[in-house]
Amino acid sequence: MAHPIAKQPKSGELPIKFFLTPEMMPDAETLAQLQVLAATPGLDHYVGVLPDIHRKSRNLSPTGTVVASKSVIVPRAVDTGICCGMRMIRSDIEVRELTPAVLDELFAELQRTIPVFEHEPDILNKEELAELLVQGGAWSQKRYGLSEEEMSCIEDRGTQATDSAQAEKILACLPKQALKKGRRCYSTLGDGNHFLELQEIVEVLAPEMARRLGLVPGRALFMLHTGSRSVGSKTMKGYLASWEEEASFMQAMTRGTPIWSMPVEAEIAQEYLRAIAAASNFGFANRIALTERLRAAVRHVLRDDSLSLPLLYDCAHVSIKPEEWRGERLWVHRHGASRALPASRLRDHALFSHTGQPLPIPGSMGHASYVGVAAEGAVETFYSVNHGAGRVLDKPEAVAAFTEQLVVRELETKNIRLYRYGEGNLAEQAPSSFKDVSQVVAAMAALGLAQPVVRLRPVAVLKG
């Protein structure tokens, strides 16, 4: 088994552990960001760097990192898209039976029933939104009649708890604009790198694991990538703006460091944690709602109401929450990193106690994706793995290097059907702007973080 590459800290910095291979080491600008993160006051143990590590110009902290603390919260350690995450939905559908005409009809139905930005008028009333934000997955389970088996395939059952069950106290922590948007952006996909992709299982890499998980060659699997939408972004950006515009706050909190922290017991931290827990509940609920719309569309187009499309797993990859790690209670901050619990941490789950938690490892809309399972070595990364392949070009760099026409032609040559709402710049998501996902998966396996189970090829993708 390979070992992480350790970078010895300077005075006042945490060690940095790179869970990747030497050829995947990040560039100088990303390394500089990691050093800033390592100098953040109050963090414990080390900075964990995952194989998809990459820099985004809008963030102070790189994507593909995990940090933890016993005593502080670090809002700038993660992206503002709290509870952005992935779902994997299995099926018994044979991809060879999905003709171009059937795919066109299916994705037209998906575009008809799943908006990219907002519903008009409101799709939730104030009372429904309040219950959703407080109860999370429990609200969705009642709304859709979801089984206990399905709920057990969602990280934390789709609910991030807070220090209060009082709706008024939680709602008071959220910006009014976030609440207003929440009534309209529930069950929407979003633009940018969010997607709904139909994939075919083309290679089995771990036969016994694939059998247990119901992953059969030739069958269709759907990957869904979206999150808390405007509820999360407006909440997190609102807090950051209000804090960072206040000179006295910044003087008290930053202590001269670009990425600052605040004591978890402080009331402002508790208020923030209530807000992001509620926004995270919205993220899980949004993916649940979209899955119900996907199931309805597939059954309608294929004229088969018996199709079940069971959930394989749902996990967030932007989160701040308390977890147990080697006997300690830590606030784990995951930025572009999925929680990854091995079989030993899931002893009460009928299936995952044998396999470990399923993991989505998307490549890009023009390249393969993988399904893996968490391995015991994930303890070294605070039970985390990378959330995908990672970028080699930031979005502005991709737009400068590629055109939308080039991306469309590349997908056409690979016989990948692209369906769009016509929002955003497709060049941002050019396949060549991402790392080689096979190398990333190989690194995950070599370091004992995960075991790849199946490889999938993209068949059709819905993008903003």
pLDDT in tens, 269-309: 999 999 999 999 999 999 999 999 999 999 999 999 999 99
Measured between alpha carbons, how far is 273 from 287 in angstroms, rounded to an integer? 21
**295 residue type, one letter:** R
Distances (CA, A) of 398 to 28, 77, 196, 395, 458: 19, 24, 21, 5, 21
Distances (CA, A) of 115 to 120, 296, 345: 10, 15, 37
The answer to whether residue 159 scores a pLDDT higher than 80 is: yes
Measured between alpha carbons, how far is 193 from 195 in angstroms, rounded to an integer? 6
Average of pLDDT values for 47-65? 94
pLDDT of amino acid 110: 98
Measured between alpha carbons, how far is 208 from 289 in angstroms, rounded to an integer? 31
CA 317 to chain CA centroid, Å, is 3
Measured between alpha carbons, how far is 155 from 336 in angstroms, rounded to an integer? 15
DSSP β-ladder status, 318-325 and 328-335: antiparallel
Contact at 8 Å (CB) between 366 and 406?
A: no
Average of pLDDT values for 140-144? 98
The answer to whether residue 248 scores a pLDDT higher than 70 is: yes
Write the pLDDT tens digit of every residue in 360-405: 999 988 899 999 999 999 999 999 999 999 888 888 888 898 999 9
pLDDT of amino acid 333: 99
pLDDT of amino acid 9: 81
pLDDT of amino acid 164: 67
Contact at 8 Å (CB) between 85 and 314?
A: yes
Measured between alpha carbons, how far is 185 from 122 in angstroms, rounded to an integer? 8
Specify the DSSP class assigned to residue 393: S
Average of pLDDT values for 302-329? 98
Domains plus CATH for the chain? 5-463 (3.90.1860.10)
Average of pLDDT values for 429-458? 95
Contact at 8 Å (CB) between 46 and 17?
A: yes
What share of the chain has pLDDT > 90, as a percent? 83
CB contact set of 314 (below 8 Å; sequence gap of 6+): 85, 86, 87, 88, 153, 154, 155, 158, 284, 287, 288
CA 374 to chain CA centroid, Å, is 16
pTM over 0.85, yes/no: yes
**46 residue type, one letter:** Y
- Give per-residue burial for 183-197: e unless 16+ CB within 10 Å, then b: bbbbbbbbbbbbbbb
- Nearest one of 155, 190, 196 to 362, comparing CA atoms: 196
Write the pLDDT tens digit of every residue in 78-137: 999 999 999 999 999 999 999 999 999 999 999 999 999 999 999 999 999 999 999 999
Q: What is the mean pLDDT of the chain?
A: 95
Measured between alpha carbons, how far is 325 from 331 in angstroms, rounded to an integer? 10
pLDDT of amino acid 80: 96
Tokens of 97: 């039976």
